[in-house]
Structure 1
Amino acid sequence: MTVKDRIKQVAPRHAREGVRGLLVRYGERTSDRRPLPDFLIIGTKRGGTTSLWRYLLRHPLVPRLFPAWNTKTSHYFEQNWARGEAWYRSHFPTQRQRDALERRHGAACRVGEAAPLYMFHPLAAERVHTLMPGARIIVLLRDPVQRAYSHWKERRTEGTEPLDFAAALAAEAQRTAGERDRLIAEPDYHSTAYDWYSYRARGRYLEHLEPWLRHFDRRQLLFVPSETLYSEPAATYGRVLDFLRLPPHELSSYDVFNDRPSRGMDEQVRAELSAYYRPYNAALAARLGMSFDWS
């Protein structure tokens, strides 16, 4: 490749980065005109959050985050807490934009974000409640055995996981040792290992949901089995809209986004994980008063 060709490649990238920087600064300067979000999708990772988020964005009263490339989340309550409230607000539409949507469609709009790590972060529930005590919280919960394997496949595909699934499960405790305690002790700390390699721990759902159940009224929380979203997408979408107090809206299709089917798992590993999660699943079902069709 010639120097001229390289310049042609680099120049547009620098131009885009410059525009993005200007938009980010504009968002922060106008943050006092940008209301906080109405809802959050907090999990679970590999549980269908991307699909549900994209369905919601197809509703005329659910605007995108700002700037437009922030398609799903700001990562504020786990990774960017130190940036402050004005930075967080900068990601959402202005009140003027909200008002325009509501005049056009004759109903209240709803603004949100989807961040699967929020459910798992030990401080996120308290942070959200302090800033947005009236927020509505949506939680997708997938069979933890399938979720763990899909999580590993994602890391493997992205080149951040050199170990096979069984070895990665065995290494998890060592890889993530002390990270949860450090997140609590150092509020501005972000742990990549805690996010990337928590295959088994993330499936112990109830221990991660207890802070949310403690801080929020049960009526503010909607729990949806991921399997129901996949098998009954239209009905589940309708239920979510009702929970968010949005008018009904039919979609022409309900594609599954970011899918990594869990075929090919070693049967011995599957059996071990199924036995491991059985008491955790039973406790979750009892606490929520729900049933889950999980292995």
Structure 2
Amino acid sequence: MRLPDIIGVGPPRTGSTWLYNALRDSVDMPAGVKDTHFFEHFDHKGIEWYANHFRHGTGDRKIVEICPGVFFRPQARERIKQHIPDCKIVATMRDPVDRMYSVYKLQRHYGGVGSGTLEQVIEASPNLGGANRYAAQLESWFDSFGRENVLVTIYDELRAEPQAYLNRVCDFMGIARVTLSPRADLGSDINSFARAPKNRRLARRATAVIDWLNSHQAYRVRTALARAGVWEFCQSRGELYPRLTPEQDERLRERYLPEVEALEKLLAIDLSAWKKPRAASQRDLADESRTPRVALG
């Protein structure tokens, strides 16, 4: 029974799909899917169910899973420690305002939250997206797996220098470096959401079907329905998401300032760029739709 050597724990909306695409030809990953959701949702199915996802692994390559949903879940962290005590961990920190706006759009996409501005949703659900409590959660990952076994990267590095970012990850994993093409597209729309669902109830039902398919490892069916446009029909077609105004940006940065300062102290790095309010034009450049496209050389 083979299990992952390395797990990318997120948190969500920090380039996890980009990393998955960059690594998938160089390591062994779950069969048919990026994220099994075992540690946060399907642990009741048993470790054999999870291990079945890696049945094609031969032992010649590292086994890796990218499952960003576990970062803010203590129980998921404990389950990883229980089943894979020597696992290495990769985490990526992102500007908290940018990440929270992306989480907000993702949750609306799935029907998890209703209409309303980001600030209104946060007031109603203050723990949305883990509330960006990076430092406290990272300390728990350090305690569980040892600081030397947890690689902490910054999303800004991925945006500015994708190759250098990927080199760090590969070196930490102990695999040969993957070379990106110099033609890598820095303006692609990897997992971005332009529109809200037209009908929240329909979006929630689609999400329930996706969860059911995942629980039965029916990944080919899920992919076929995606290509047919079923999920897009159910979880999009509504209003365009408005951009955050400079005033909203400033208020949110003030809200998350203590979290940023705690992370600075923990990692001994300068995150002053995350503290400064941004103009609308700068925000456009930071949107998740600007995650670099993976192009391998």
Question: Common fold, TM-score beyond 0.5?
Answer: yes
User: Please, what TM-score do these two structures have when normalized by structure 2?
Assistant: 0.69
Q: What is the alpha-carbon distance in structure 2 between the residues aligned to residue 141 and residue 129 of structure 1?
A: 21
| Aligned equivalents of 2:242, 2:64: Cα separation in 1 | 33
Match 1:64 to one of 19, 26, 29: 29
Note closer, same or farther for the CA distance 1:149–1:242 as it changes in structure 2 (3 Å cut): same
Report the alpha carbon displacement of residue 254 of structure 1 after superposing the two structures with TM.
Answer: 4.1
Structure 1 distance, partners of 2:42, 2:78, is 15
Tell me by how many angstroms 1:159 deviates: 4.5
Given that 1:120 and 1:202 are in contact with CA atoms closer than 8 Å, whether structure 2 keeps it comes out as no
In the alignment, what sits opposite 1:12? none
Aligned positions of 1:38-117 closer than 5 A: 38-59=5-26, 62-66=27-31, 68=32, 70=33, 72-94=34-56, 97-99=57-59, 102=60, 109-117=61-69
Q: Can you list the C-alpha shifts for 1:61-101, whole angstroms capped at 9, x where unaligned?
A: x12312x2x2x11111110111111111111134xx424xx
Q: C-alpha deviations, 1:12-65, integer Å up to 9, x for none? A: xxxxxxxxxxxxxxxxxxxxxx31111111011111111111111133xx1231
Task: Report if aligned partners of 2:97, 2:249 keep a CA contact under 8 Å in 1.
Answer: yes
Aligned residues: 223
Match of 2:232 in 1: none
**In 2: Cα distance, 1:134 partner to 1:263 partner:** 44
- State the distance in 2 between where 1:132 and 1:283 align: 29
**1:3 equivalent in structure 2:** none
SS class of match (1:80): helix
| Separation of aligned partners in 2, 1:93 and 1:231 | 36
- The equivalent residue for 1:275 is 254
Aligned residue number for residue 258 of structure 1: 191
What SS does structure 2 have at the residue aligned with 1:41? strand
Structure 2 CA distance for partners of 1:228 and 1:260, relative to 1, 3 Å: farther
2:176 and 2:78 mapped to 1: Cα distance? 30
- What one-letter code is carried by the residue in structure 2 that aligns with 1:42? V
RMSD: 2.1
Match of 1:294 in 2: 274
For residues 223-254 of structure 1, what are the alpha-carbon distances to aligned partners after superposition, in whole Å with 9 as ceiling and x for unaligned?
A: 11111111110111111110000012212254
**Aligned counterpart for 1:242 among listed residues 164, 168, 171:** 171
The residue aligned with 1:161 is 113
Secondary structure in 1 matching 2:40: coil
Match of 1:285 among 242, 254, 264: 264
Q: Is the 8 A contact 1:139 1:222 kept in 2?
A: yes
Query: TM-score scaled to structure 1, two decimals?
Result: 0.70
Range with bigger deviation, 136-145 or 151-160: 151-160
Is 1:233 the counterpart of 2:193? The answer is no
Say whether the 8 Å CA contact 2:23–2:178 is kept in structure 1: no
Q: Deviations over 1:136-174 (max 9, x none)?
A: 10001100111011111223344443222222112114x
Aligned to 2:209: none
Which amino acid in 1 is paired with 2:141? W
Is this contact kept in 2: 1:57–1:63, CA < 8 A? yes
Task: Evaluate the alpha carbon distance shift between residue 263 and residue 242 of structure 1 in structure 2; reply closer, same or farther with a 3 A threshold.
Answer: farther
Give the unaligned 5+ runs of structure 2. 195-240, 276-297
Residues 119, 208 of structure 1: 8 Å contact kept:
yes
Among all aligned residue pairs of Structure 1 and Structure 2, give the percentage whose two residues are the same amino acid: 30
